[in-house]
Amino acid sequence: MTGEQHYLAGLDLAGRRVVVVGGGTVAQRRLPRLVSSGARVELVSPAVTPSVQTLADSGAVVWHRRPYAPGDLDGAWYVLCCTSSPEVNAEVSADADRLRVFCVRADAGSAGSAVTPATGNHDGLLVGVLAGGEHRRSAGVRDSVLAALRGGAVREAVAKPVGVALVGGGPGDPDLITVRGRRLLAQADVVVADRLAPGSLLEELPPSVEVVDAAKIPYGRAASQDAINSLLVSHARAGRFVVRLKGGDPFVFGRGFEEVQACAAAGVPVTVVPGVTSAFAVPAVADVPVTHRGVAHEVVVVSGHVPPGDPSSLVDWPALAALRGTLVLLMAVERIGLFAGALVAGGRPGDTPVAVVQEGTTRGQRTLRSTLDKVADDIAVAGIRPPAVIVVGPVAGLARPDESERASTS
Ligand code: SAH
């Protein structure tokens, strides 16, 4: 590397006038971070992209709908030239130099008096990387640093969280946990994991982390929830940060709120990190959209853990049978015959499409397409096993156009 390097600084732009010239896709990428810094952003441009327009409409930036004019930089602390015209950008940056206002030139970084680092945010930590104009290099390093932070590979001297975090682990693929969930997991002292929580997330944990398999807690079904609750509370009270890792979303048939209540009753701080629920994600990866324009305007997620007519059932099967839209049945493989029968008895046509997706988002994923009349037999013949999501409704009959159809219609 030759010559001087730029000097990396953090600007406090809160309440200060920042002028952005040009309203295209470059400005669109820069504006959100400027706005969240609290800057008073004024945008000068004859035209803007729809998302810049949205920012202007919301009042987050003030848009002057006209070309740049001398005088626009008066009172500015910082300037970004983002027009597609090198001449205009050169004019703006020359004006900025005269006024001694730092100015970024989006079209020619080295020609401006400031450059924008590749930036990323991790839990309130801002990472900025400059690579002397090599954008791929700075973006690549930024991405790696963020990934390392998120994965816990970089040790941060941050205060360890306390209490219990109820984390939705997503439907199975370890990539489908949220960024926040993964970050908290990396900070855990104890992880209490459900059977359906993505197992490979646990393999990444250092040996110092105590992993409790909640499925192996040796009590009856009802008592085991109490045992889990007291486990969460006792570990947290002993000063350990506990992650309760659940499959999908913690509040979709996950008994998550019972655990929130138990922690709250014990005075243990508890936070909830939502997850990608299998109810929507598993159909999605099998090309079944739970809604589709002109096909389904409603989607109901139903638990199949008790049969229709069971005294403890809270499901109104005749009402579900009267719907035209999408039903997503969880925990329903064993009793699918009863559910399909109840729906047909209630008036849902027997030829209504059904899609069954076993172990969605994992390597064991398989999909079966059927109809209400045939689904129980087809599941038995195919040997479909839980966990599976069953989708009932016209969306289960949609497909991508195949090559020949596309060729004939285009
Ligand atoms: N809280 C979870 C659901 C728990 S109920 C969520 O939001 O996803 C358990 C049921 O979820 C299973 O019986 C099955 O119907 C469904 N399920 C969970 N993961 C699945 C997967 N990877 N593939 C198919 N079904 C899944």
Give the span between the Cα atoms of 170 and 84, in whole angstroms: 42
Asked if the structure places residue 342 within a domain, the reply is: yes
Asked if the structure places residue 158 within a domain, the reply is: no
Region at 387 (left for phi over 0; alpha for psi -120 to 50; beta for the rest): beta
Atom of ligand 1 nearest to the CA of 359: 23
The structure tokens 């009932």 sit at 392
C-alpha of residue 7 to centroid of ligand 1, in Å: 51
Domain stop point among 226, 255, 273? 273
Listed range (100-114, 182-196, 332-346, 393-407) with the worst mean pLDDT: 393-407
Q: Which strands form 61-64's sheet, in the order they lie side by side?
A: 61-64, 40-44, 17-21, 78-81, 102-105
Asked if the structure places residue 68 within a domain, the reply is: yes
Residue 2 predicted with pLDDT over 60: no
Question: Mind listing the pLDDT tens digit for each residue in 264-277?
Answer: 999 999 999 999 99
Residue 79 predicted with pLDDT over 50: yes
Query: Can you give the CATH number for the domain in which 218 is found?
Result: 3.40.1010.10
The per-residue b/e assignment along 180-196, b for 16 or more CB within 10 angstroms, e otherwise, is: bbbbbbbbbbbbbbbeb
Is 246 annotated in the active site?
Answer: no
Given this model, what pLDDT does residue 122 score?
Answer: 87
Give the span between the Cα atoms of 193 and 55, in whole angstroms: 42
C-alpha of residue 12 to centroid of ligand 1, in Å: 46
Q: In sequence order, what are the residues at sequence separation of 6 or more whose Cβ sits closer than 8 angstroms to the Cβ of residue 269? A: 162, 163, 164, 236, 263
Is 160 annotated in the active site?
Answer: no
Asked if the structure places residue 407 within a domain, the reply is: no
**Bridge partners of 102?**
78
Domain stop point among 243, 273, 303? 273
Given this model, what pLDDT does residue 97 score?
Answer: 97
Please indicate whether residue 308, judged by its CB atom, sits closer than 6 Å to ligand 1.
no
Tell me the pLDDT band of 403, cut-offs 50, 70 and 90.
low
Q: In sequence order, what are the residues at sequence separation of 6 or more whose Cβ sits closer than 8 angstroms to the Cβ of residue 106? A: 22, 26, 30, 80, 81, 82, 89
Asked if the structure places residue 38 within a domain, the reply is: yes
Question: Mind listing the pLDDT tens digit for each residue in 284-329?
Answer: 999 999 999 999 999 999 999 999 999 999 999 999 999 999 999 9
φ and ψ of 189, to 5 deg = -90, -35
Q: Which strands form 366-371's sheet, in the order they lie side by side?
A: 299-303, 326-330, 388-392, 353-358, 366-371
Asked if the structure places residue 144 within a domain, the reply is: no
Asked if the structure places residue 128 within a domain, the reply is: no
Please indicate whether residue 170, judged by its CB atom, sits closer than 6 Å to ligand 1.
no
Given this model, what pLDDT does residue 402 score?
Answer: 81
260 and 369 co-located in one domain: no
C-alpha of residue 260 to centroid of ligand 1, in Å: 20
Is residue 243 within 8 A of residue 165, CB to CB? The reply is yes
Given this model, what pLDDT does residue 410 score?
Answer: 47
**Residue 347's closest CA among 326, 324, 369?**
324
Given this model, what pLDDT does residue 148 score?
Answer: 87
267 and 286 co-located in one domain: no
Residue 339 predicted with pLDDT over 90: yes
Query: Can you give the CATH number for the domain in which 98 is found?
Result: 3.40.50.720
Question: Mind listing the pLDDT tens digit for each residue in 220-239?
Answer: 666 688 999 999 999 999 99
Domain stop point among 227, 258, 273? 273
C-alpha of residue 311 to centroid of ligand 1, in Å: 24
Given this model, what pLDDT does residue 221 score?
Answer: 60
Q: Structural domain tally of the chain?
A: 3
Given this model, what pLDDT does residue 335 score?
Answer: 97
Given this model, what pLDDT does residue 4 score?
Answer: 84
Residue 217 predicted with pLDDT over 90: no
Domain range enclosing 191 = 164-273
Atom of ligand 1 nearest to the CA of 358: 24
Query: Can you give the CATH number for the domain in which 349 is found?
Result: 3.30.950.10
Atom of ligand 1 nearest to the CA of 390: 15
Asked if the structure places residue 70 within a domain, the reply is: yes
Q: What is the dihedral of CA 290, 296, 298, 302, to 10 degrees?
A: -50
